[in-house]
Amino acid sequence: MKDRPLSGKLVVLTGAGGIIGRVAAERFVRGGARLVMVDRCERALGAARDALQEDKAAAFAMPCDLTDPIQVAELAASVEARHGPVDALFNNVAGKSKNIFAPFEHFPLDEWNEVMATNLTTAMLCCQHFGSLMAARGRGTIVNTLSIYGIVAPDQRIYEGAEYEGRAINSPAVYSAAKAGLWGLTKYLATYWGSKGVRVNAVTPGGVFSGQNETFVGRYSARVPMGRMAKAEEIADAMLFLASDGASYINGQNIVVDGGLTAW
């Protein structure tokens, strides 16, 4: 792959203020992209842009609530008007609700809908607006961020005593359902727009270390053939590859970056 595989490309990255998003932003700018960074949280978005080590002038922060169809339509129009045609869209939003770790038997319906909207509907809306413009021009690429728990069920045993930032954690059913749905959308759009020059693929991260307690890290790592959790940089590199010309004949595929966990 070239040293600057995204040179001259305009890239839209949603979820830019998140764990993977911050690292991906750095990778994309370093790869030569002009980058539109999108996130609902203006504070996280600003911090992510300020943290860029490469040319900050190539990165533009645009806050947006991607669950709002009106805001998404305005975002797409604004990006095109200010920066020109979008070459690559990364649907990288992930979000939790207040009671995200509630047991399935008592999971609130309103929060189920909230999590589905954040993790699945945002991607649909962005694909509708940005993807349609790509299809009309006859070129473009879309990369959706999934989860291993959208393709396999979580092992609930590894969550006994697991904590993140002092809070007990698990892997809720709604997250699995949303990410499985996003994989379905990925395949659908890959065939729907493939003849129009738009490639649609996915990256599935394994568990990324971000401060989980030793109990969880040990149990999770024992389930991985490589014996450790992922680094955000390893996920971002796969994302960058799928947007590059080196992936020009890759369409409708899912690159699973999980150290072999799903190969057992």
Which residues, 6+ apart, have CB-to-CB distance to 123 below 8 Å?
91, 93, 144, 182, 185
* pLDDT recorded at residue 54: 72
Which residues, 6+ apart, have CB-to-CB distance to 11 below 8 Å?
28, 33, 34, 35, 36, 86, 87, 88, 89, 90, 243
98: pLDDT confidence band, cut at 50, 70 and 90?
confident
Q: What is the pLDDT of residues 17-63, one digit of tens each?
A: 999 999 999 999 999 999 999 999 999 999 999 999 878 889 999 99
Which residues, 6+ apart, have CB-to-CB distance to 104 below 8 Å?
172, 173
Structure tokens at 5: 């595989």
What single-letter amino acid sits at 143?
V
Domain boundaries, the chain: 10-152+173-209+232-256
| Rounded distance between C-alpha atoms, residue 228 and residue 203, angstroms | 19
Assess whether 175 carries a catalytic annotation.
yes
Q: What is the pLDDT of residues 245-254, one digit of tens each?
A: 999 999 999 9
Average pLDDT score, the chain: 96
163-164 and 167-168 strand pairing: antiparallel
Q: Which of 149, 159, 175, 220 is catalytic?
A: 175
Q: What is the pLDDT of residues 195-253, one digit of tens each?
A: 999 999 999 999 999 999 999 999 999 999 999 999 999 999 999 999 999 999 999 99
Instruction: Measure the N-to-C terminal CA separation of the chain; round to a whole number of Å.
Output: 30
CATH homologous superfamily of 10-152+173-209+232-256: NAD(P)-binding Rossmann-like Domain (3.40.50.720)
